[in-house]
Amino acid sequence: MAAGAASLAQHVLARLRETDPAALGEARSRQWRRLGDPPSNGVHGALDVATAGDGLRAPCVAVLLLGEAATPNSAPGAGAAVQRLTATVGVLVCTVRRNDPGGRKGFARGAGYDDMNDLISAVRSRLLGWPPRQRWDPLELRQGRLQSLADGRAWWQDEYATTGWADYRPAR
């Protein structure tokens, strides 16, 4: 994995952790404040989620690098690798409704459905069109989908993509 794309997830994580709820609008702000206090603000990296298991407090947001694709080296024989990388970053949004085992309340107006939509909207408002690093294009939403409905939790994943340049020299 290229270091450029790997650190990209860290930039996205930092951007979400720096979110000022007041800038999100009333409904989104209310849901964002429920995530928690700094430094993490309820925004986690992939390993945080993997190691927390059922102990993860919801609502929460998690960021992970999903993959990358590279063009062929544009400077072969120059002692470096100069490549264009397209990286895909996933952002998971989790909400919880422990007293709704059948899921009926979760889709009622003013219940979990709104919570999920408000958090998704808040994340999108922070990330769409934002260039995560120098020499990288602004993030674009590729797709979003429901990942899981289990144990009173709903997990939604948005996939964001960006393309940038990686210039690597061999270690000496």
Q: Which residue has the higher pLDDT, 26 or 72?
A: 72
pLDDT in tens, 3-19: 566 588 899 999 998 88
CB atoms near residue 116 (< 10 Å): 22
pTM score, two decimals? 0.82
CA-CA distance, 114 to 118, in Å (whole number)? Answer: 6
pLDDT tens digit sequence for 120-160: 999 999 999 999 988 899 999 999 999 988 877 888 999 99
**pLDDT (tens digit, 9 = 90+) per residue, 94-110?**
888 766 555 555 555 55
SS (H, E, C) 35-54: CCCCCCCCEEEHHHHHHHHH
Q: Does position 113 have pLDDT exceeding 70, yes or no?
A: no
Round to whole Å and give the CA distance between 128 and 89. 12
Amino acid type, 48 = D
Chain segment 55-95, per-residue pLDDT in tens: 777 788 999 999 999 988 887 776 778 889 999 999 999 88
The confidence score (pLDDT) of residue 2 equals 44
pLDDT value of position 110: 54
Instruction: Determine the angle formed by the axes of helices 112-127 and 3-17, rounding to 10 degrees.
Output: 120
d(CA 118, CA 35): 12
Q: How far apart are CA 160 and CA 170, in angstroms?
A: 30
- Output the pLDDT for position 5: 61
